[in-house]
Homo-oligomer: A and B are copies of this chain.
C-alpha cells in the first residue's frame, strides 16, 4: 500500500513481515541472517536492514551468537500501521478487526466531543459534505462510494479533535471500515439508522454540542460492535 517498492529490503519485509505477524514462526523461533539473505537472494547488508526494521517493530530481537529470535505477540508494536496492515491481511484478521473496533468505540466518541469544540468552519463543511455523500450512496449497491465518504467522515472527526494521537488513527479506522466493506460484513446496503447518525453527528459538531456529538458517535460505534457480535457472538 504505502510505498511498495522502496528497495530490496522493502520487498523482503513485504513477505517476511506478514509471515511473522501471521504467527508462522512461534515465539522464540530463531532465524539466521545468512539463511534469510540466501532465501531472499539479497546481500547480508540488505537483510540486516530488514531485520533492523522488524526489530524496531518489536517483532524480533537480534542477539549475538544466537540469531534473530521472534518475540511473543504481546510485545509487538501493534499500533504500527505496517504491522496492522500485515495482520489484517493475514490469519488473525478477524480478532484484529474486533480489537480495533473496540479501540474505535473508545476513541471516536471522545474525539467527536473534542471536534465539536475545536472544529474549524472548513472542517464542519467537509463533515457535512461527507455525511451528504454517505446519504447519497446509501441505497442501490453503491458500497464503494459509500465507503469513501464514510472513511473521509471519520478521518475529519479525528483530525478536528485537535489531538494528534487521535488524528493518527485515521488510517487505522479507514482500514477497519474498508475491511468491513470488502470482507465479512456488509453484504447489502448500510443500515439507514447509521447513516442518519452520521448526519446528526455532523450537525452536532457544527452546533458545537460536544455532549451530543459524543453520544451520537457512541451509538455509531456501538452499532459497529454489534455488527461484529452478530457475525461471531
CB distance from A199 to the nearest CB of B (A): 24
Q: List 11 A-B contacts (CB under 8 A).
A: A49-B49, A74-B167, A76-B168, A77-B81, A77-B168, A78-B164, A79-B80, A102-B163, A103-B163, A103-B165, A106-B166
Chain B residues near A164: list those with CB within 8 A. 73-74, 78, 99
CB distance from A133 to the nearest CB of B (A): 24
Query: Does the CB pair B80–A77 fall under 8 Å?
Result: yes
- Give per-residue flags for A57-85: 1 if the beta carbon is below 8 A from chain B beta carbons, else 0: 10000100000000001101111111000
Per the bound structure, the CA–CA distance linking A1 and B168 in Å amounts to 25
State the number of copies, please: 2
Per the bound structure, the CA–CA distance linking A24 and B17 in Å amounts to 32
Query: Does the CB pair B9–A52 fall under 8 Å?
Result: yes
CB distance from A223 to the nearest CB of B (A): 16
Per the bound structure, the CA–CA distance linking A76 and B168 in Å amounts to 8
* Contact of A107 with B by CB under 8 A: yes
11 new A-B pairs (CB below 8 Å) besides A102-B166, A105-B110, A106-B106? A49-B49, A49-B52, A52-B53, A53-B53, A56-B57, A56-B82, A77-B80, A99-B163, A102-B110, A102-B165, A103-B165
CB distance from A172 to the nearest CB of B (A): 9
* Contact of A111 with B by CB under 8 A: yes
Query: In the complex, what residue of chain B is closest to A109 when comparing beta carbons?
Result: B106
* Contact of A45 with B by CB under 8 A: yes
* Top 8 A-B residue pairs of the complex, sorted by shortest distance between their CB atoms: A79-B79, A106-B110, A53-B56, A49-B52, A103-B165, A99-B165, A99-B163, A102-B163
Per the bound structure, the CA–CA distance linking A146 and B76 in Å amounts to 29
Query: In the complex, what residue of chain B is closest to A9 when comparing beta carbons?
Result: B52
